[in-house]
Amino acid sequence: MVFKDFALAYLVCWMGAIVIAWLSAVKEGRDPIEMLIAAAAVFIVVGVLPVLAINACIKWII
């Protein structure tokens, strides 16, 4: 249960980072879709994969 709460908080933080990237792209006059794609790619690599790996390790240990 604690891990699920941690994972949810981790993912919410990353979603906030994507929103901030979107807003900064709009503010700077750059293409927001391009920034959104880059932020989503970083989110998948750095945000989702570690959570899945930690979850797999916990299931393997238990």
Is a pLDDT exceeding 60 seen at residue 1?
A: no
Question: Under 8 Å CB-to-CB from 11, ≥6 apart: which residues?
Answer: 47, 48, 51
Q: What is the pLDDT of residues 5-56, one digit of tens each?
A: 777 777 787 788 778 888 888 888 888 788 778 877 887 777 777 777 887 8
**Per-residue pLDDT, 2:** 59
**Per-residue pLDDT, 7:** 73
The structural domains of the chain, with segments of one domain joined by +, span: 2-61
Buried b (16+ CB within 10 A) or exposed e, 11-44: eeebeeebeebeeebeeeeeebeebeeebeeebe
Residue 44, amino acid: I
**Per-residue pLDDT, 9:** 77
What gap in Å lies between CA 30 and CA 37, rounded to an integer?
Answer: 13
**Per-residue pLDDT, 30:** 82
